[in-house]
Amino acid sequence: MFRYQVLIEYIGTNFVGWQIQSKGKSIQKEIQVRLSKLLKEKVILLGSGRTDAGVHAIEQSAHFDCKKEIQNLDKLLKSINHFINDKGISVLAIKKKKSKISCTTFC
């Protein structure tokens, strides 16, 4: 597994907050759905914290794990922003991190 950190900014006015809720649009879901489509695997995006409805963020940190190593982080960054910028969300950076997850342990 490969771990990636994402730094995100958003205008939260039209969202129920960071975390996926049963009703309403969330930042986490918007990004997670798009990452899953772009990477062609189910991605779970985990935030470093939560925000309430209507709250904005300047540089919120989150991470996700995926099975394949991403070869071109700049291309992924541009692709995801193409789909989410019109929603008031921007991914500022995607950084590969050292993951301590071993597939022999968890997979």
Active site residues: 52
Helices (H), 16-102: 27-39, 73-84
Q: What is the dihedral of CA 29, 59, 46, 80, to 10 degrees?
A: 50
What are the two backbone dihedrals, phi and then psi, of residue 7, each rounded to the nearest 5 degrees? Answer: -110, 130
